[in-house]
Structure 1
Amino acid sequence: MKPFLVLQLRPETEASDDEFAAILAKGGLTEGEVRRVRLDCETLGAVRLDDYAGVIVGGGPGCVSDAPEDKTPVEARIEAAVLGLMPEVAERDFPFLGCCYGIGILGKALGGVVAKGRYGEPVGTSACRVVEADPLLEGVAPEFDAFVGHKEAMEVLPEGCVRLVESAPCPNQMVRYGANVYATQFHPEADAAGFETRIRVYRNKGYFDPAEADGLIAMCRAAQVTEPEKILRNFVARYG
């Protein structure tokens, strides 16, 4: 099969490596079945979408809704690289799965409203509910918990987007544009061990009071989060 293009945005090696391992494991992929690009330290260059089965964009500490002057040079470069792919992805309805940061990228590319004012969620689990049937939700329970932690969210659906999953704090937890372009606010690749790593790595990044880190880690260990990874597996199975 053609490889999947996996774009990573995390400048912290421990978090980036852990996320990549999770994408492989939960997607049922091997390293030989993907092209991994760490955008914090690599140049993406020209991308020929026909060379790939699909595009998977991971999460990261940046926010597309931040003012340009508030973004670091690395964050600005990463955002520009991913946004540069989106016109062709949207026009061709090319298989795309944006995870966390990816929903902000999709919203911004389509002219939607991505902002910090209404739907941010603290680090932890969110009770999600499926509101629209979709092939990527095949086998996923109608209600499930997912790991979240985000300062910004897609506040208004862009034209052409359909809401697939919602939660009380954040209505646009998973959306689809066209037939093949998807994004989730929650982390479909994350499990308790992976989220524990991120809590340690990002404890001073403004997501939570650093003094709460141990309690958040205990909460993650006790959580039952099993359904979101099926979305990632379904994406790989459908397009791979």
Structure 2
Amino acid sequence: MSGRLLYVCARPQRDAAVAEWASFRDGLGVSDDDLVHHDLVREPLPDDLERFSGVVVGGSPFNVTDSDKTPTQLRLEGDLERLAAAAIDGRTSAMFTCFGIGVVTRLLGGDVTLDHPEDTGPTDVELTLEGRTDDLFGLLTPRFQALTAHKEASASVPPGATLLASNDLCPVQAYRAGDALWATQFHPEPTTDAFVARMAVYREAGYFDADAFDEVSAFVRTASVEQPTLLLRSFAARVLA
């Protein structure tokens, strides 16, 4: 493989951001130098995306449905929409995760809702028929576990997108838009230990009962997350080939 990837960070918390970059690096199976870290909270999206073979977008405590957005959040969401449009048009390849799927759904004219939250911890995800033949998702088992923690989700698959994965609690777990943009509601990048460390940063953010941290952490550590990691490996293999 050759080329470099870009990690786009949407997290204001620096410790969580650095740890997420490391999780993506390990999940993608690339070196430090091959995954460039871009802090979108503090710096606008670079104009020269063509320098990179592909882009991965991390999660965020921001929500598309927030009613009191700061200028920073509004600018960040606009930059992510610009990145998503470039991937949909085939000018780059991208994987958007968690918060990012809401940005893409809204760009495509879909609805983002608070009706399908998922608790912090492992969830079972099932591939659709289209998911089983997708370039990336088709390498996964038809049913697998992944880690989630979100307050909002796509109400339905947005116009023009292809639903790839679902479950009962959150019907839109993943989709593809165009030929080069994938979006997941679940987190494909963290190990269970990395996810617990992220939980510590967001302990008071309302994703879980802060007083139940030990119990929730123990539940997280029961998860098997090899399949989501395989998803990242297949993305890296595709865009860096």
Asked if these proteins are the same fold (TM beyond 0.5), I'd say: yes
Q: Percent identity?
A: 34
Q: Which residue of 1 aligns with 2:103?
A: 105
Which is further off, 208-217 or 80-89? 80-89
Q: For the Cα contact (< 8 Å) 1:2–1:33, is it kept in 2?
A: yes
Matched position secondary structure for 1:44: coil
The equivalent position to 2:94 in structure 1, one of 93, 96, 114, is 96
Deviation at 1:94, TM superposition (A): 3.2
Taking the aligned partners of 2:223 and 2:159, their CA distance within structure 1 comes to: 35
Deviation at 1:93, TM superposition (A): 6.1
Deviation at 1:137, TM superposition (A): 1.8
Distance 1:138 1:92, change over 3 A: closer
Deviation at 1:41, TM superposition (A): 2.5
Counterparts of residues 47-86 of structure 1 (less than 5 Å): 47-67=47-67, 70-86=68-84
Say whether 1:129 aligns with 2:115: no
Q: Which residue of 1 aligns with 2:9?
A: 8
Counterparts of residues 127-166 of structure 1 (less than 5 Å): 127-131=124-128, 132=130, 133=132, 134-166=134-166
Q: For the Cα contact (< 8 Å) 2:10–2:39, is it kept in 1?
A: yes
CA root-mean-square deviation: 1.5
Taking the aligned partners of 1:205 and 1:86, their CA distance within structure 2 comes to: 27
Amino acid paired to 2:118: E
Matched position secondary structure for 2:235: helix
Which segments of 5 or more consecutive residues in structure 2 lack a partner in the other structure? none
Deviation at 1:95, TM superposition (A): 1.1
Q: Which residue of 1 aligns with 2:204?
A: 204
Q: For the Cα contact (< 8 Å) 1:129–1:142, is it kept in 2?
A: yes
Deviations 1:194-218 (A, max 9, x none): 1101111101111122112111111
Matched position secondary structure for 1:50: helix
Taking the aligned partners of 1:163 and 1:138, their CA distance within structure 2 comes to: 13
Q: Which residue of 1 aligns with 2:180?
A: 180
Amino acid paired to 1:122: D
Deviation at 1:228, TM superposition (A): 0.7
Which segments of 5 or more consecutive residues in structure 1 lack a partner in the other structure? none
Matched position secondary structure for 1:83: helix
Taking the aligned partners of 2:213 and 2:200, their CA distance within structure 1 comes to: 7
Distance 1:179 1:43, change over 3 A: closer
Taking the aligned partners of 2:168 and 2:123, their CA distance within structure 1 comes to: 9
Q: Which runs of 4+ in 1 moved over 6 A?
A: none
TM-score by length of 2: 0.92
Corresponding pairs, count: 236
TM-score by length of 1: 0.93
Taking the aligned partners of 2:50 and 2:226, their CA distance within structure 1 comes to: 32
Deviation at 1:138, TM superposition (A): 3.8
